[in-house]
Chain A
Amino acid sequence: MKTRLAFSIIISGMLFLFFGMDLCLNLPVAFADNVDEQQAFEDTNAQETESVFPNIGFMEKLEQGFELNLKATALGTITGIATSNKNPGNRFAQIPDKGIILTLKPDMSLVYDDWLFSAKPRLELEQNQWTIDGNSHNSSDQKAQIIEFKIRRLLFDNLFASYGCENLQWGPSFLYSPSNPFFNDNGKKNLVEDLKGKGFFKLVFVHDFSWSTSLIYNSDKGAFNESDFKKVLALKIDYSGDESYASLILSHKDNKETRLGLFGGTTLNDAVIIYAEANLQQGSQALFPVALQNPLAWQLDAIKKDDHSLYTTLITGMGYTFESGNTLTLEYLYYGQGYDSKEASNYRLLKNTAASFYSSGTALAGYGGKVLGDAASNGLDFLRQNYLMVQYLNEDILEEIIDGIDLVSRLTYCLDDKSSRLYSSLSYDMNDHTQLMLSGMMNTGGVDASFGTFLYYQVQVALEYSF
């Protein structure tokens, strides 16, 4: 009932704002966040060059400062679930094999004097079907939530303070962002679904056109559902020059590790960019397989958390743009915390043992389920240590036949266990408002390799309408 009420309030508010204020047609005054009206140093007097920042009233400021980008998306997913003793009959992971999500995305922001307010509410209708032990189940859900919001104020001379629920992303890499202590994915869950944010206090001081410093405090888990959330404090120093950029991020997690993150890149020529991103940390919070001298045989434990060894994660990458505009990107990832051959072998044994416990119907079934759960969330973003990624962005792939079709193809390959993930997505601009997207993902290498523990393949189709 509460969800429905919230749903209705947000929809009513959106409709009022959308139709009542003639919003989208006006560009916000301070879309640039901080164009300083007081610093204008030249008059423009021609009719064509009338100032767009005259002294205006409260309502006009609101109207000019408000921006709404409204999108509606529909996403359909078909998933091929891997058949394995790690997830027998899909009893353990309970992954839906079909699903559809309809989402209304009213992204809004308001710039008023030195203030910026922004919010990304999401109104979702979701229907899923999953099969457990051969029996089909259906579920439907409706959600109204704000996945991100922010309040920011210019305190003085290029010093900004903000609090918000944000998904903070940075760095040049596509595959992974090791320098980011808060989020290390690439900021997108699938074709159209946006990632949720966490709570951040931020102070950003912009020294000049090249240098800035940020103090970032991750105070709460925001819209994330993390049971083991820990607060993180980070200092980020950024340099951005005419051809190169570099950043340094020093962070500390409550009662956990201190990390040093780095990234940088340069434009070698018109067509080539190169970059690198890294993270250095002492110890590891990840779970590693430990053999036990009792009938339980194995357990997973954070045996390296007090380790004084330094663990490195490094990504190096290169992008090459062809004359046609198509772009090839290559990335190599070294993930220092990942399992070596022996640990991977033990991990496989552990999962097999746990799976047999889980399916045994004995008193050990509970323990088996727990170990499988630990194995599925072992704290490692990659199972092994060495990976390659090749991505090709093909713009207007069928331009002779049909306009506006872009293709992204990506192969992620584990050099250690030879498994891979193939991903391709196609987007088609049907008109100025509508985009049709299709993606396919396939894992190879089997259920014990880096990819494919739970999924064989996934196909998604999405339609996005921009108002």
Chain B
Amino acid sequence: MNYIRLFVITLLVSIFGQPLQANTTPLTTENLKIATALLQESDFSRGNVSGIIWDIDIETQSKGKIQKNSLRVLVKGTNSLAIYQSPSKVKGRKLLMKNRNMWFIKPGLSKPVPISPRQKLLGGASNGDIASTNYAGDYTIESFTEDIFQNEPCYIYELKAKNKKVTYDKIRYWVSQDRKIGLKAAFFTKSGKMFKTAFFEYDHTITLNGKDRLFVSKMTIVNTMVKTDKTIMAYNNINIKEISPSSFNLNLLVR
């Protein structure tokens, strides 16, 4: 009987106590350097390069309805420009983001309209989700912990926004130790409530600094409150190149 009790306790602890068992690495200067370097590496695989142009197909599933948008997106640092490609009724619309300074341009309306970051123009995705990821630059590592995610050894990062300019205040981020890519992210409100999680797939490869590197192909965002609400962002036609500042200049964007 005691053996059975011991077995059940061990089983329960192994199931529910996994985070407690996880190996939290102390944040020494050396460890922080290593953690930051790995985070930077994972950022490269999610577009944080000197300039990138990609096509993003966004599918939003909400309340049993499906909405699809296709965008061509140019990103350079904190600047990004999304140009709507489809459906036909929105073709030619543009969303210009200079970090939190955002403008919406609609064909037929010569005047660009300033918008707040909260305005939803991309279905279930936040405006900031279409930009490249610079977690290493925008967030402070509060802790990182060894873990296993989908049978893959990884580190869980607890990230805190360095300032209010970024899309999310707090992120829990799973990064593969071997492949150096982000696998999963949980996003939290300021009050500490998790409101969405994202899963990443890497079916693309790019060459960066002479090395082949996995590159993000899909991001699936799930609403934590309403699990059936989901946004899938598929990345295609990835083209890494220098983009000039004039691509993000409002005077030149309205045709």
> How many A residues touch B, CB cutoff 8 Å?
87
Stretch from A208-216, A284-292, A382-390 contacting the other chain: A208-216
| Contact present for B205 and A48 (CB under 8 Å) | yes
A22 contacts chain B at the CB level, 8 A cutoff: no
In the bound assembly, the distance between CA atoms of A399 and B44 in angstroms comes to 39
Dominant SS among interface residues on chain B: mixed
Stretch from B4-12, B30-38, B114-122, B140-148 contacting the other chain: B114-122
Tell me which residues across on chain A come within 8 A of B242, comparing CB atoms: 36, 39-41
In the bound assembly, the distance between CA atoms of A209 and B51 in angstroms comes to 13
| Contact present for A48 and B246 (CB under 8 Å) | no
Stretch from A9-17, A56-64, A268-276, A345-353 contacting the other chain: A268-276
Write the nearest CB–CB distance from A327 to chain B, whole angstroms.
6
Other-chain residue from B89, B205, B207, B250 in contact with A240 (beta carbon distance below 8 A): B250
- Sorting the interface of chain B by its residue count into under 10, 10 to 19, 20 to 34 or 35 or more gives 35 or more
| Contact present for A432 and B118 (CB under 8 Å) | no
| Contact present for B81 and A167 (CB under 8 Å) | no
| Contact present for B88 and A466 (CB under 8 Å) | yes
Closest B residue by C-beta to A35: B243
| Contact present for B110 and A195 (CB under 8 Å) | yes
Write the nearest CB–CB distance from A444 to chain B, whole angstroms.
27
In the bound assembly, the distance between CA atoms of A90 and B178 in angstroms comes to 80
Assess A34 versus B247: contact at CB under 8 Å? Given A194-B108, A243-B101: yes
Enumerate A192-248 residues with CB–CB distance to B below 8 Å: 192, 194-195, 204, 206-209, 212, 214, 236, 238, 240-245
| Contact present for A325 and B254 (CB under 8 Å) | no
Counting residue pairs across A and B whose Cβ atoms lie within 8 Å, the total is 225
Assess A150 versus B119: contact at CB under 8 Å? Given A32-B243, A187-B111, A435-B89: no
B14 contacts chain A at the CB level, 8 A cutoff: no
Stretch from B20-28, B149-157, B179-187, B232-240 contacting the other chain: B232-240
A49 contacts chain B at the CB level, 8 A cutoff: yes
In the bound assembly, the distance between CA atoms of A327 and B102 in angstroms comes to 15
B219 contacts chain A at the CB level, 8 A cutoff: no
Closest B residue by C-beta to A42: B240
| Contact present for A52 and B237 (CB under 8 Å) | yes
**Residues 423-446 of chain A: 1 if any B CB is under 8 Å from the residue's CB, otherwise 0?**
000000100111100000000000
A8 contacts chain B at the CB level, 8 A cutoff: no
| Contact present for B206 and A321 (CB under 8 Å) | no
Stretch from A136-144, A170-178, A302-310 contacting the other chain: A170-178
A188 contacts chain B at the CB level, 8 A cutoff: yes
| Contact present for A187 and B109 (CB under 8 Å) | yes
Tell me which residues across on chain A come within 8 A of B107, comparing CB atoms: 69, 107
| Contact present for A466 and B116 (CB under 8 Å) | no
Other-chain residue from B77, B78, B116, B240 in contact with A319 (beta carbon distance below 8 A): B116
Closest A residue by C-beta to B76: A209
Q: Beyond A34-B246, A242-B101, A321-B115: 20 further Cβ-contacts under 8 Å?
A: A33-B252, A35-B53, A39-B241, A40-B241, A41-B242, A42-B206, A42-B207, A42-B209, A45-B212, A49-B215, A49-B238, A116-B255, A174-B113, A187-B109, A195-B110, A206-B252, A209-B77, A245-B114, A272-B116, A432-B88
Interface residues of A (CB under 8 A from B): 27, 31-37, 39-46, 48-49, 51-53, 69, 71, 105, 107, 109, 116, 118, 150, 158, 160, 166-172, 174, 177, 186-188, 192, 194-195, 204, 206-209, 212, 214, 236, 238, 240-245, 265-267, 269-273, 275, 319-321, 323, 325, 327, 395, 399, 403, 429, 432-435, 464, 466-467
Interface residues of B (CB under 8 A from A): 49-50, 53, 63, 65, 72, 74, 76-79, 81, 83, 85-89, 91-92, 98-102, 107-120, 164-165, 203-209, 212, 215, 217, 236-255
A-B contacts, 8 of them at CB < 8 A, read A32-B247, A45-B207, A49-B206, A116-B255, A242-B165, A267-B116, A433-B88, A466-B89
